[in-house]
């Protein structure tokens, strides 16, 4: 329930497309256009690579991030929709599925993270949204993406094409109740509980399907919903069914901002972002890692 929360002004965010540029050269270009660099690079740990803030004379604040722009401070700005691809962190050369891909923001981020080296197979069942995605991807320079118009639930996990998939992103349709414009116009409260529970059933089935791929090492689940039914309840219910094979990976252990709702057993493994606390959209992320064979699951 986000009722009564005033929506703060959140910064604008940019992500550097590492296929086309680097953070250093992007900063140089911005400085050449009279943006003043007021931030600093930070390499506190591998995942926390850089946080840069630049100001214009007109006092517009722009937070420019490398592939990852999380700060260790809960009040520092983060771009929530960049978190799922980072949590998945596919390595260059790997095979990745974006199961619910259109319009492709996270697909292009995944392609950037693997430096366009490997495969990103992007599914969506909505042809119109795929059309938008084709245009957006065209500007990204990514050549490693295969766009497929197909319901991901009909993709056979043991098919020859799917058996080497190591990473899967599941960013399914959700109520969108965390989107700032929905919070401002009250739309989040307009979503009926029936609709939320229908979405929850779909989200559980698509997440479970992703976990059936034989070589998958990591699956990240994300929504822009504020409802526990679409977030913690989905993650916990699915984990209760796959706990012999998977465990939660704590997302960004150094993150001091909000975690999952405390009444859930694995709340500290999740990320739950809110405009008021984290200066970002409402967002939820959970990460499933396959337990390596031979590892004692109780340890
Ligand atoms: N990941 C996208 C991005 O970052 O730009 C946003 C995805 S949006 C939240 C959810 C998408 O899932 C929609 O485009 C919808 O058409 C698609 N979708 C819903 N059910 C699906 C299914 N069974 N198989 C494939 N795509 C599906």
CB of 262 closer than 8 Å to CB of 62? no
Lowest mean pLDDT among 47-61, 113-127, 251-265: 47-61
The answer to whether 282 is a known ligand-binding residue is no
Owner of token pair 């931030």: 39
Q: Please report the domains of the chain, with CATH numbers, ordered by start residue.
A: 12-65 (3.30.720), 80-290 (3.40.50.150)
Instruction: State if residue 1 touches ligand 1 by the CB under 6 angstroms criterion.
Output: no
pLDDT band at 125 (very low <50, low <70, confident <90, very high): very high
ipTM: 0.99
The atom number, within ligand 1, closest to the CA of 133 reads 5
Q: How far is the CA of 152 from the centre of ligand 1 (A)?
A: 9
Cis upstream peptide for 49 (omega within 30°)? no
The pLDDT of residue 14: 64
How far, in Å, is the centroid of ligand 1 from the Cα of 265?
Answer: 28
Phi, psi for residue 36 in degrees, rounded to 5: -95, 130
- Positions marked catalytic: 224
Residue 213 has pLDDT above 50, yes or no: yes
Ligand 1 touching residue 101 (CB < 6 A): yes
**pLDDT band per the 50, 70, 90 thresholds, residue 23:** low
Closest CA to 95 of 120, 60, 131: 120
> How many angstroms separate the CA atoms of 123 and 116, rounded?
18
Give 90-104 pLDDT, tens digit per residue: 999 999 999 999 999
- What pLDDT is recorded for position 179? 77
List the beta bridge partners of residue 221: 170, 286
Which has more pLDDT, 120 or 50?
120
Residues 297 and 291 sit within 8 Å (Cβ to Cβ): yes
Task: For residue 294, say whether it is annotated as part of any ligand binding site.
Answer: no
Annotated binding-site residue? 103: yes
Q: In this structure, what are the phi and psi dihedrals at residue 79, rounded to the nearest 5 degrees?
A: -95, 105
CA distance 235 to 212: 15
| Residue 278 pLDDT > 90 | no
Per the CB < 8 A criterion, the answer to whether 158 and 152 are in contact is no
**Separation of CA 186 and ligand 1 centre (Å):** 23
Residues 6+ apart with CB under 8 A from 274: 2, 5, 178, 226, 258, 280, 282
Stated pTM of the model: 0.83
Q: With 70 as the cut, is the pLDDT of residue 32 above it?
A: yes
Instruction: Please tell me the residue having the least CA distance from ligand 1 atom 23.
Output: 151
pLDDT tens digit sequence for 62-86: 555 433 343 333 333 456 677 899 8
* Selection from 113, 122, 171 nearest residue 145 by Cα: 122
Report whether 281 contacts 275 (CB < 8 A).
yes
């Amino acid at each position: 329930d986000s009722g009564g929360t005033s929506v703060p002004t959140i910064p604008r965010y940019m992500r550097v497309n590492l296929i086309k540029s680097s953070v250093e050269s992007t900063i140089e270009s911005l400085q050449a256009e009279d943006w003043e660099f007021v931030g600093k690079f930070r390499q506190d740990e591998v995942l926390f690579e850089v946080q840069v803030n630049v100001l214009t004379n007109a006092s517009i604040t722009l937070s420019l991030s490398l592939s990852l722009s999380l700060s260790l401070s809960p009040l520092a700005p983060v771009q929530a929709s960049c978190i799922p691809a980072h949590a998945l962190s596919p390595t260059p050369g790997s095979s990745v599925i974006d199961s619910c891909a259109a319009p492709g923001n996270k697909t292009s981020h995944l392609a950037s993270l693997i430096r366009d080296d490997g495969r990103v197979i992007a599914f969506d069942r909505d042809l119109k949204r795929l059309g938008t995605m084709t245009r957006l991807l065209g500007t990204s320079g990514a050549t490693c993406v295969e766009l497929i118009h197909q319901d991901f639930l009909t993709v056979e996990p043991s098919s020859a094409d799917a058996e080497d998939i190591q990473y899967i992103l599941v960013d399914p349709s959700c109520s969108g109740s965390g989107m700032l414009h929905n919070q401002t116009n009250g739309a989040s409260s307009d979503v009926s509980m029936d609709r939320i529970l229908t979405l929850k059933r779909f989200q559980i089935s698509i997440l479970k399907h992703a976990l059936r791929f034989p070589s998958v090492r990591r699956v990240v689940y994300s929504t822009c919903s504020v409802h526990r039914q679409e977030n913690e309840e989905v993650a916990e219910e699915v984990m209760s069914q796959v706990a012999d094979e998977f465990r939660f990976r704590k997302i960004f252990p150094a993150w001091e901002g909000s975690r999952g709702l405390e009444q859930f057993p694995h709340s500290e493994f999740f990320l739950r972002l809110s405009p008021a606390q984290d200066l970002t959209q409402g967002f939820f992320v959970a990460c499933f890692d396959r337990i390596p064979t031979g590892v004692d699951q109780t340890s």
